[in-house]
């Protein structure tokens, strides 16, 4: 059996247990292609390490994650072929456990969407702008947005149905009327520009579902095109739009004088978190939040005095 056939069996087995493996499946396919180009019929630690570290401009967490995907596949192969080398845990340290999030301002989001409109391909431009707008307005995980089907987007009631999200959970996500209207406009223009698209709500130029890796590459190019200033220790990632959404909601609640502690569970539910503690991961201190915290503390001390 070839490595490519073994990969198909491995992914099918994992998906039977509920793992979606969309990203891992795409990357492991690239890994098998990497091996085939080198006439390798077996996975070795050396080849796995060489592939995992190929994108030299990425951080240690990305390379470690790539090697971890190979490790799972290699363990599966080793049961059938003892020659298979399994990369040991810790071979590529992840570095910092939490990347410093890049918190996008509203102006920076508008700049990204403007840069998307300048993409030469009208079909790619249309879809990229719509995806960025939805991520910024809803805080969805990028995989959740790309996984939406046409029937999952109810622009009339302004509700998304997110299916098979993290831990195979599903939930309803209400949208602001302006966001629902923007998605309705996208759907109309999508059907004009890509008339033969499939069931996916966000369609690639060929009519297929937009792939996570392809969109990530487009997004990174747009960050450069939009002229966003990015510090080496704080790269602007797609996922940071989710961080920005959570911080913006908390900032707005504080400005409105709301009881954040009682409202936080609703934000956790909206973002698809099982526990509010998971939501804290997305909350970063900003000057606005610091100022709001100081104002509240001063008010408390004034009352007590």
- Residues in CB range of 120: below 8 A, 6 or more apart: none
Is 141 labeled as catalytic in the residue annotation?
A: yes
Q: Among residues 141, 190, 209, 235, which one is catalytic?
A: 141
Burial class (CB in 10 A: 0-12, 13-18, 19+), 80: exposed
Strands 159-162 and 153-154, sheet pairing: antiparallel
Is 242 labeled as catalytic in the residue annotation?
A: yes
Is 166 labeled as catalytic in the residue annotation?
A: yes
Q: Among residues 23, 110, 239, 263, which one is catalytic?
A: 239
Distance CA 292, CA 251 (A): 8
Distance CA 207, CA 193 (A): 10
Q: Among residues 273, 280, 296, 301, which one is catalytic?
A: 273
Q: Among residues 150, 166, 211, 220, which one is catalytic?
A: 166
Q: Among residues 212, 242, 243, 270, which one is catalytic?
A: 242
Nearest to 214 by CA among 152, 133, 128, 119: 128
Is 231 labeled as catalytic in the residue annotation?
A: no
Q: How big, in percent rounded to 5, are the helix, strand and coil portions of the chain? A: 60, 5, 35
Can you give the C-alpha Rg of the chain in angstroms?
A: 22
Q: Which residues are catalytic?
A: 141, 166, 239, 242, 273, 282
């Amino acid at each position: 059996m070839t490595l490519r056939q073994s990969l198909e069996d491995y992914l099918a087995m994992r998906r039977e247990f509920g793992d979606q493996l969309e990203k891992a499946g795409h990357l492991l396919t690239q890994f098998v292609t990497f091996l085939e180009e080198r006439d390798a019929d077996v996975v070795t630690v050396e080849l796995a390490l060489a592939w995992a570290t190929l994108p030299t401009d990425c951080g240690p967490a990305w390379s470690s994650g790539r090697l971890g995907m190979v490790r799972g596949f290699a363990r599966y192969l080793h049961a059938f072929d003892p020659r298979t080398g399994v990369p040991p845990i810790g071979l590529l340290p992840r570095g910092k456990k939490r990347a410093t999030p890049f918190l996008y301002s509203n102006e920076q989001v508008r700049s990204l969407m403007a840069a998307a409109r300048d993409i030469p391909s009208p079909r790619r431009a249309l879809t990229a702008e719509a995806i960025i707008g939805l991520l910024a307005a809803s805080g969805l995980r990028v995989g959740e947005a790309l996984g939406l089907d046409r029937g999952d987007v109810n622009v009339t009631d302004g509700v998304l149905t997110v299916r098979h999200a993290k831990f195979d959970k599903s939930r309803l996500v209400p949208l602001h009327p302006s966001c629902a209207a923007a998605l309705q406009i996208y759907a109309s223009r999508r059907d004009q520009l890509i008339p033969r698209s499939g069931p996916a709500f966000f369609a690639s130029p060929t009519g297929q579902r937009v792939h996570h890796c392809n969109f990530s590459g487009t997004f990174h190019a747009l960050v450069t095109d939009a002229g966003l200033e990015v510090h080496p220790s704080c790269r602007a990632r797609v996922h940071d739009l989710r961080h920005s959404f959570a911080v913006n909601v908390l900032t707005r609640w504080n400005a409105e004088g709301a009881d954040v502690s009682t409202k936080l569970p609703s934000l956790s539910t909206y973002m698809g978190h099982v526990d509010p503690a998971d939501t804290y991961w997305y909350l970063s201190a900003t000057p606005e939040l610091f100022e709001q915290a100081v104002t509240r503390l001063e008010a408390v001390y004034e009352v007590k005095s």
